[in-house]
Structures are given as C-alpha cells and as structure tokens.
Structure 1
Amino acid sequence: MKYQQLMGSLVLSLALVVSGFAATSAVATETRIIEIRGGGKVEMLLDLPSAKGPYPLVVVAPGQGYHARLPLPESLVKALNTEGIAVVRFNWAYFVNDPKAGKPSSDLSAEVDDMNTVLAEAQKLPAVDPARVAVAGKSLGTLVGWRVFRSHPKLKAVALLTPVCIDNAKTEVVDGMMENYIDISANSRPLLLISGETDPLCPLPMLYANAAKIPRARAVGIGGRHSFEVRDGPNATADSASNLDLAVKITTDFLVKALR
C-alpha cells in the first residue's frame, strides 16, 4: 500500500492520541503567516524559552495529516523550551489552504519550498543563534526534513520521527528507505531515527537494518504504531501517552546534545 493510502487509515488513530495528551507550550506561541513562492501561505508557530537568548533552534516539520498543534510537536515545544531551545513548527501550505482535503505535491517539491522558507525566516529571528540550528520531522516531515537537512550542510542535526522505510512504489511491504532518504548512507552529522514497534510504515527490522548502514545514526524503537499510539488493551490511552512521552524525551536529549 502506498504512503498516502496508508496515511489515510493511520490518521484515523489521531483521535485516540489527541484524547490522551494535553501538552502546552512553556511560553506564549507567536503565530505568523508567511507567503511562499506560487502564492501559497505557510503557518509558522514560534515558541521561545523564558530565559534570555540568543537560543539554539529546532525547526519541526509536521506529518501529512499530523499538523503542528497535535501532541508530538506540542510536547517537543514544551520539552525543548525547558532546555533553553527555541522551536519553530509550521503547517504546510496545502494544509493551510485546505486542512481537510489538502494533499502534498507528488514529488514533495512544494513542501521542500515550504520548509526552506520557514527555515530561512527562523534563522533571521534576532533571538536565534543561526550557528546552532537543527531540524526534525514527523512522517511526511521526515521525508521533507531530510531533503532540507541534506541541502544545508551547516545544520547541526536531524531527528526523523516515524520515518517512512517502505518503498512507496510497491503494493507490498518492501524496504525503500535508502530511496526515500537519498544519500542518507553518506550522512556525517548526528541523526536520530525513532519508530513505533508496530508502525506499518517502518517495521523495526527495516529501521535497525538501515540504521546500521548510516554513519552517526541512532535508531530507537518504542511502543505503539505510527504516532506511537496503542489501539487495544485496557490501558491504551495511558500506554499511548507513555510512548509519546518517551519519544519526546529521547528526541529532546538528542537535540540538546547536538546543539551544545
């Protein structure tokens, strides 16, 4: 099953995840609407730590249907702000234009433009240290985030949360990570990969087998599916919350060390 078809079914699980979490930012969020090439608009959300800057920065790219205000980016904001790191998250132009039916471009070129525009705006912020910037992404955001990271050699690190390991062109589950993340085997900067243990878009054997081929890659498998959610069992909501909390802690620790 292709990526977008799989995402259609996986987005249904977000209701469970949203009901299980109530993460909030450490400080007030500043929202900006940025015009991009072609006339579209991207929504950028800025969260700064309460201490005095300039701050290191993490730019967080959302999933296809997993937008910037859902639990994972919200929780990352709180955790990273607590560590003195500024966070910029955003929503794709297609999502801003039509949150219900919007779709990414077939080759993701429009989404690469979106993220590059957000990154450029974020690096100009006076409160940000442009020499200490990392990127992170969720699902679709990992595909785009890797392309942006690869094209910006001065970025310090990348965190790929729920990467897409399968071959999108195949109807069966076939390893396609090296095709989805071009030149990732030549990586020389800190890289984090996190998948849920029952994530159909990146089975753990694929995650670990590919990570073994990537220099400086750290691969972690935790509980849950594509959004770390647990669908069954008497403690599904609590287990989902625990999984997401662990993913945030691991990601925060990785980014804090990378941005020192």
Structure 2
Amino acid sequence: MKNQFLFDYPLGPGPFPAVIIAPGIRYPMDGSIFKELVRIFVEKGLVVARLNWFFYLEDPVTGMPSENLQTELAELRALSATLRMDKRVNATQIFVLGKSLGSVIAWRAFCADKDLLGAILLTPLCATEEEKHYPLLATEARPVLLIAGDNDPHCKLALVNQLAIGLGGKTALKLVAGNHNLELSGAMCQQNGQSIEDLGIAFRRKISALAMSIYAWIDASLTNL
C-alpha cells in the first residue's frame, strides 16, 4: 500500500518555509485540529506536508504502529525527503509538528535531523514519570514548542509543569483548555451552561487562536535565526 502524502501550498512561487505534520495513533491528517492549522499556515505563507501512517491506512480502528516505531519514523523521513526536493520549499526552514504518538515520532526525527529548524509537540505523551519519550529536551538548542491540554489524561498537568522547570531557553510551553484532543467534556460544558452547539463554536475559535499562536511562534523562530 502506498502512503498518503498531502501537500498544501500558499499562492506564489516560493520558496516558502514549511511544516511537516505527524498525526496521532487514531487522529488522522484530516482531523479538525490539523485542518485549521493547515488553513492558517497556508494563509500565512507556509507549505504544509502531512501523511497518514501505514498502520492507520490498513486499519483505522485497530491498526497499531511498529513495536519500536521504526516503520513510522521511516515514513516521516520519506515525507521530509520529498518535501525538501520541492522547489517551492525553503529546505533550511522546515519545522516538524507531531500530535500524541506523532509527537514521539516527530521528536525522534527532529533529534536525528539537525537540518530541521524547530519542533512542535502537540498533546505530548507524559502520563507517568516512567514515560521518557522526549530525551534531550532540556538541552535542545533549536526552538521547541510544547502544547498540552490542561485536562489531558495522557499528559498529566503536574508532570507537564515538572517538565517545564528544566526546559531550555528556546523551549516554550503552552497550556490549552481541554483533553487530549483539546476538547472540553460534556460535564464541563454543563457546568459552564454551554450547549453542544456553543461548545462546537468555542472549540473552533480556540483552535483558530491556537493555530495563530503557533504561526506567531514559527514566525518569531524564523526572525531570530
């Protein structure tokens, strides 16, 4: 089965900075968060490259990644190599963004590829102190942005705060209201007196604001080269 690579471009010949998106285990490249990120990024002049993992294409419901994630890492590297050959892309200004499992794979790709300019870890995995998915984070000299939900069972707030204490000077942490998909629970919705429709509108506004803040971070990282 051939992998799905999808590329979105701003208007014009470029070359443009670019963002590679690595999806989650059950959160595909066309998930609502990614759709809004792509819309904002392209509007602001970034190329976006994304993929769905082989295991997800084969079985979206029960498919699982390779045991050591080497298959998925190879897929992400293949996407990166394809992107770098594109004349519309500035190969020296590429960021990698991963969500959940994708953040683990993105981090491994980032550590192995010193030509990647920065990394964005969206809803990273740190539910227990034993989980060490992001080695060398505290000493990484390139720009890194961590974005965590404040009610995410897969990334406990206390561990996020503990992680933040040792972060390097170019690593930023942003907390967003919500769970692992940055959504508010039905119970929280009732407590706030919001209808399901209101909740959907608030979610879309929140993700749009998040996309703008990520773009601002990328832009600042490019400005400070």
**TM-score (structure 2 length as normaliser):** 0.89
Q: What SS does the corresponding residue of 1:64 show, helix, strand or coil?
A: coil
Any unmatched runs of 5+ in structure 2? Answer: none
Are the counterparts in 2 of residues 230 and 237 from structure 1 also a CA contact under 8 Å? no
- Counterpart of 1:8 in structure 2 is none
Name the structure 2 match of 1:254: 217
Q: Residue 81 of structure 1 corresponds to which residue in structure 2?
A: 42
Q: What RMSD in Å do the two structures reach over aligned CA positions?
A: 1.5
Identity percentage over the alignment? 28
Q: Which amino acid in the other structure matches residue 259 of structure 1?
A: L
Query: Which residue does the alignment assign to 2:111?
Result: 150
Q: Deviations over 1:117-175 (max 9, x none)?
A: 11111111111111111100111110000000000112111000000012xxxxxxx22
Flag the 1:45–1:118 CA change in 2: closer, same or farther, 3 A.
same
Equivalent in 65, 86, 91 of residue 130 of structure 1: 91
Structure 2 CA distance for aligned equivalents of residues 239 and 66 of structure 1: 20
1:67 lines up with 2:21 in the alignment: no
The 2-side partners of 1:72 and 1:253 are apart by 17
Unmatched segments (≥5 aa) in structure 1: 1-39, 167-173
Stretches (4+) displaced over 6 A: none
Distance (Å, rounded) in 1 between the aligned partners of 2:59 and 2:208:
30
Matched, 1:195 2:148: yes
What's the secondary structure of 2:95's corresponding residue?
A: strand
- Tell me whether 145-154 or 239-248 shows the greater mean CA deviation: 239-248
Amino acid at match of 1:251: I
Tell me the alpha carbon deviations over residues 154-203 of structure 1, each in whole angstroms, 9 at most, x when there is no partner: 2111000000012xxxxxxx2245x1112222211110001111011112
Corresponding pairs, count: 213
Partner of 2:207: 244
Preserved contact between residue 151 and residue 179 of structure 2 (Cα < 8 Å): yes
Note the C-alpha offset of 1:106.
1.9
Partners of 1:242 and 1:202 in 2: CA distance: 23
